[in-house]
Amino acid sequence: MKKLKKSIWIGIFSVSSLALLAWLAQQPETARAILPPASGMVPSTPAAVAADPLSPAMPDAASSYGDAGFREAEAGLSPSARSGREIWFKATAGNARFHTYTFQQRVTALIDWYGVLRGDARDTRFKTWGLINDPGCCKPGADGCPAKSYDETYGFDWCPGDEALLKFVGKPGYRDPACDFKDASAAASDPDGHQTGREDSCNLAFGTSTGALGFRKFPNPRFDAAVWKQVNGRLGTWEGYNRKLSNDPARADHKVRKLADASVEPPFLIGTACASCHVAFNPAKPPADPEHPKWENLSGLVGNQYIRVSEILISGMPHDDLLWQIFAHARPGTSDTSAIPNDQVNNAGTINALINTAQRPTFAGENVNRWRKVAACPAGAKGPDQSAGAACWCEPGKPGKCWEKSVKAETVHHILKGGGDSIGALGAIQRVYFNIGSCAEQCWVNHLTDLRQLDPQARNFGQTPFDIGQCRRDCPNFRAIEDRLPNLLDFFLTAPEGQARDLVEARANQRQAAYAATDLVRDLESHFGKDSVSRGQQVFVANCARCHSSGKPPFETVDFRAIDSKSGLRADWLGNDVPTPVTEIGTYRCRSLHSNHLRGHVWEQFANEEYHARKTVAGILEPHDGGRGYYRNVSLLNLWAHAPFLHNNSVGPELCGWGGDKANPYELYRSSYVDTTKPGNPPLAKDKQPACWQYDPSVEGRFKLYVASMQDLLNPAKRTPKATKVDQDIVLDIGPRIFDGKEEKRLVGFTVRVPAGATAGNVGNFRHKDFIVDLVRAKLKPKEFEARLATVLPASDAKKLAAEMQEIGKAIVSDPDRLVEVVKEARARTPALWQVYSSCSAEIENDGHRFGEDLSDADKNALIAFLATL
């Protein structure tokens, strides 16, 4: 029996339990949609819908709410840019299945879509989640709203198009509005087959708005009204579905919510369009009430500085759960876009402001291995079959629509924070759709790391490369987007909402009176000192322009306000996008260690040859080869409107929706201020924590935040250090339980406790799989293991770490409950442990970028004044 117990213990230990350590690193990203089998999108007339006594009465469309505002905002755009705008705002490219099924069941992170989008919380949606309300939607029962009760809308807002959509909840045959999408003419330069053979627009998958811009809903044909009523009591709420199962901590399921029951089909599948993260308030024309903006207050390209993407994507998890504690820590306006593919690098970054794109620096002569449009495949080419490995492929049934893959020198952008997504603007835009879940099931989920998979021989132990050719072949949503990428780029390049909005314009709008540049300079100088703006330009030229100008030196002669005659935009993008070693910038390095674009990793095909061949940066502790270790020099355009600063919004005041009151269940803010004078950098005492700043998108609110953030930036010695901490103990009971008729008892296993105060990034960045595999190696093949360590460590460190790993193995086996402590103690004795098994061990998130700290206070003020004019 003893022997058997040991066997079971091992089974648990080596397969399941230690796998739970994987959770110590789990972090999400975003995703895609194709409707369930019976639904399909029907490119024909809507099916007749039989009356169903369990279904709610459907409202008629006629009302003061509708799509007119969206249409008015596209006035003046070219047909191509108009098409691109509509796709940007509405197209989910099939990701509703990802956000409804894949994320929950395969990634195992639950989203409480009702908690995020419930109609009765429309008036506080911005404060809580940072979401931007769709002006065309309304709360059921409100004056003029076509829906009179939440039973009609299953608890959501009523939105344009719902008069049709709601009739198909629980029924097949919904005809997606994207089927009526008005395509612009294809580019005349495209081969004929590409012009005439665009993928069916139904596969853009619009659905209708949920009430929050960019979040789209689709009727679920599998929905069963009777089951729903049984679970929730009525149709108009999800409160039975999102309920917590128990508050009894003695029960193993006390953290579980009914959301985990995948047999319950919700009324809607929820998808996301690019606008979900990128739409926000026009800085120059903010709404009087952020909860109720009008279309004139919105921009689809400015980037949402307030959205809590991480919290939304993990909203179905309790706050004392590991996933919530490790993942839901990104600051408002930032998103860890590598979290779902999961490179185990905590690296949330800001949502880029896609402004003045026409002036963004490009890089000529970079070698890009990608697919290009051709009319036919050359004789003898590999293909034209449907093989993903083919160098040339023609789409079946679409004569003359072929693609050829090769390496060619091209002029490209460097898009991501570290310069990844460098195969051209169109390829970068397309990858955004994968980031939000498009084609997840068909193309990329199979390539991801499964954090529970500890067998190095098994699939999903690590990432494998996504194959663009396979995805084009197998996913119609990919083709629907790809065939319209030029429209999206035209939207970026030409739409007014993609133009920088200067403070002078914002103040003119605010005052509803003439307000010229000279007025702005006068007002700034009254605040920052006489001649501060002109002096600030000199300071900028001498200290900043080498990175933060797209012009060429000497910068003394550069007119940073000059207008480009071709685009009508400011000529200088105020950033050169050149990759710079993170060691030179000194900022939180984890984002630069993002590894999804490395060879052999999931987004390998979205980085060009120059990225892969980058020189290895010296002086970084953790693995940093293959293109990692750099940040591009970002734009300072409209800095007045985009504080806080740095890639993770860490420099400047912390932002919050409800004023930071932790007693408020809707307040998602958690302080990241830490005390670096004490070992382990514990959270700063509450009475010493600077207060968070409540969201204020007004012109003056942005300006005040800008000034405070600039002071923080230019005075690094005065910054209060920040490191995101676990704010509740994470307790993991590892091992199965049994029930003897009276109480639950753990059969075998142990308890892992990550104490409150631990650095969330350190937990998430711990590469538990390599660690576990090496524990075994250290025991079985110690010499070989030590030799391998010696390839990345000095020989003495390798020897010490090899011995340490043997001791760790013994200690864990003898007392697995002490697992966390054992690793922590070992790290203290042998720092090389973290060097080898952490993706990034940096803790302080608002460190670095100390440029300008030696300037006089007057010059700092001058710089602040000058940059406010750009």
Partner 1 sequence: MHAPLRQEHTPDPMCCGCGLRPRRITKGNDVLRLAIVALLLLPAVLGLSGCERIQGWFAGKPDIAFAPYGDTYASKPDFAQVEYEHPIPLKELAKVTPKYLAGLEQEQLDQLYARLGSGPIPNGAFDGEIVFPRGSSGKLRAAEIIGGLKGLGVNFKGNLLETAGETLWKGKVFYRDQKVLRNRIQDLTALRPVIGPGDIPKIDVDGKDAWLLFPAKLYCGQSLIDSRRESIIIDYAFTDELHGYRERPDFLAGRRGLKVRDEIRMVRPGLYLGRAYMDHAFILNFVLYNKDLDQAGRAEFEIGQVKDDCWSGTQTRVVASR
- Annotate 55-93 with b (16+ C-beta within 10 A) or e (fewer): bbebbeeebebbbebbeebbeebeebbbbbbbbbbbbbb
Q: Tokens 């029996």 sit at which residue? A: 1
Instruction: Name the minimum Å distance from CB 475 to partner 1.
Output: 6
Nearer to partner 1, 5 or 530 (CB): 5
> Restricting to residues 765-824, which ones interact with partner 1 according to CB under 8 A?
776, 779-780, 809-810, 813
CA distance 402 to 458: 35
Nearer to partner 1, 104 or 664 (CB): 104
Instruction: Name the minimum Å distance from CB 262 to partner 1.
Output: 5
Q: Tokens 């390839």 sit at which residue? A: 791
Neighbours of 418 (CB within 10 A): 28
Q: Is 515 left (phi over 0), alpha (psi -120 to 50) or beta?
A: beta
Q: Specify the DSSP class assigned to residue 78.
A: -
Tell me if 751 contacts partner 1 by CB under 8 A: no
- 661 to 700: interface string for partner 1, x by CB under 8 A: ----------------------------------------
Is 21 in contact with 427 (CB distance < 8 Å)? no
> Restricting to residues 149-188, which ones interact with partner 1 according to CB under 8 A?
none
Burial class (CB in 10 A: 0-12, 13-18, 19+), 407: exposed
Stretch near partner 1 under the rule CB under 8 A, chosen from 54-62, 464-472, 678-686, 758-766: 464-472
Answer for which of 182, 566, 718, 745 binds partner 1 (CB under 8 A) is: 745
Answer for which of 109, 235, 312, 475 binds partner 1 (CB under 8 A) is: 475
Instruction: Name the minimum Å distance from CB 6 to partner 1.
Output: 7
> Restricting to residues 546-605, which ones interact with partner 1 according to CB under 8 A?
600
Nearer to partner 1, 101 or 295 (CB): 101
Tell me if 234 contacts partner 1 by CB under 8 A: no
Instruction: Name the minimum Å distance from CB 38 to partner 1.
Output: 9
Is 178 in contact with 147 (CB distance < 8 Å)? no
Instruction: Name the minimum Å distance from CB 579 to partner 1.
Output: 27
Helices (H), 733-818: 760-765, 768-780, 782-789, 795-814
Tell me if 11 contacts partner 1 by CB under 8 A: yes
- 91 to 110: interface string for partner 1, x by CB under 8 A: ------x---xx--xx-x--
Answer for which of 62, 516, 563, 738 binds partner 1 (CB under 8 A) is: 738
- 238 to 277: interface string for partner 1, x by CB under 8 A: -------------xxx--x---xxxx--------------
Instruction: State the DSSP H helix or E strand holding residue 363, giving kind and residue range, or none if neither.
Output: strand 363-374
Tell me if 462 contacts partner 1 by CB under 8 A: yes
Nearer to partner 1, 679 or 741 (CB): 741
Tell me if 739 contacts partner 1 by CB under 8 A: yes
Neighbours of 602 (CB within 10 A): 25
Answer for which of 192, 455, 556, 729 binds partner 1 (CB under 8 A) is: 455
| Distant-in-sequence, close-in-space partners of 48: CB < 8 Å, separation ≥ 6 | none
Distances (CA, A) of 206 to 28, 203, 288, 485: 24, 8, 29, 16
Nearer to partner 1, 402 or 443 (CB): 443
CA distance 364 to 412: 6
Tell me if 467 contacts partner 1 by CB under 8 A: yes
Is 216 in contact with 204 (CB distance < 8 Å)? no
Instruction: Name the minimum Å distance from CB 275 to partner 1.
Output: 25
Instruction: Name the minimum Å distance from CB 664 to partner 1.
Output: 30
- 491 to 530: interface string for partner 1, x by CB under 8 A: ----------------------------------------
Tell me if 741 contacts partner 1 by CB under 8 A: yes
Tell me if 612 contacts partner 1 by CB under 8 A: no
What is the sign of the dihedral through the CA atoms of 546, 549, 550 and 556? negative
Nearer to partner 1, 256 or 391 (CB): 256
Nearer to partner 1, 188 or 780 (CB): 780
Stretch near partner 1 under the rule CB under 8 A, chosen from 233-241, 463-471, 528-536, 556-564: 463-471
Instruction: Name the minimum Å distance from CB 233 to partner 1.
Output: 16
Neighbours of 823 (CB within 10 A): 21
First to last CA, the chain: 76
> Restricting to residues 33-52, which ones interact with partner 1 according to CB under 8 A?
34, 36-37
Closest to 201 measured CA to CA, from 180, 219, 216: 180
**Side chain identity at 325, as an amino acid letter?**
Q
Nearer to partner 1, 443 or 674 (CB): 443
Stretch near partner 1 under the rule CB under 8 A, chosen from 236-244, 310-318, 447-455, 657-665: 447-455
Tell me if 122 contacts partner 1 by CB under 8 A: no
Helices (H), 119-212: 125-129, 150-153, 162-165, 192-196
| 3-state SS assignment for residue 754 | strand
Neighbours of 542 (CB within 10 A): 13
Answer for which of 233, 249, 456, 665 binds partner 1 (CB under 8 A) is: 456
How many residues touch partner 1 (CB under 8 A)?
80
Nearer to partner 1, 36 or 140 (CB): 36
Stretch near partner 1 under the rule CB under 8 A, chosen from 311-319, 547-555, 557-565, 735-743: 735-743
Nearer to partner 1, 203 or 334 (CB): 203
Instruction: Name the minimum Å distance from CB 393 to partner 1.
Output: 12
Is 550 in contact with 575 (CB distance < 8 Å)? yes
Tell me if 440 contacts partner 1 by CB under 8 A: yes
Tell me if 6 contacts partner 1 by CB under 8 A: yes
β-pairing, 744-746 vs 693-694, is unpaired
Closest to 104 measured CA to CA, from 385, 437, 336, 372: 437
Distances (CA, A) of 856 to 60, 469, 567: 65, 56, 37
**Side chain identity at 225, as an amino acid letter?**
A
Sheet of strand 363-374: strand arrangement: 363-374, 402-412, 392-394
Instruction: Name the minimum Å distance from CB 11 to partner 1.
Output: 6
DSSP for 543-606?
A: HTHHHH-SS-S-GGG--TTPBPTTTSSBS--S----EEEHHHH-S--GGGG--TTSTTSTTGGG
Tell me if 744 contacts partner 1 by CB under 8 A: yes
> Restricting to residues 379-398, which ones interact with partner 1 according to CB under 8 A?
386-389
**Side chain identity at 584, as an amino acid letter?**
E
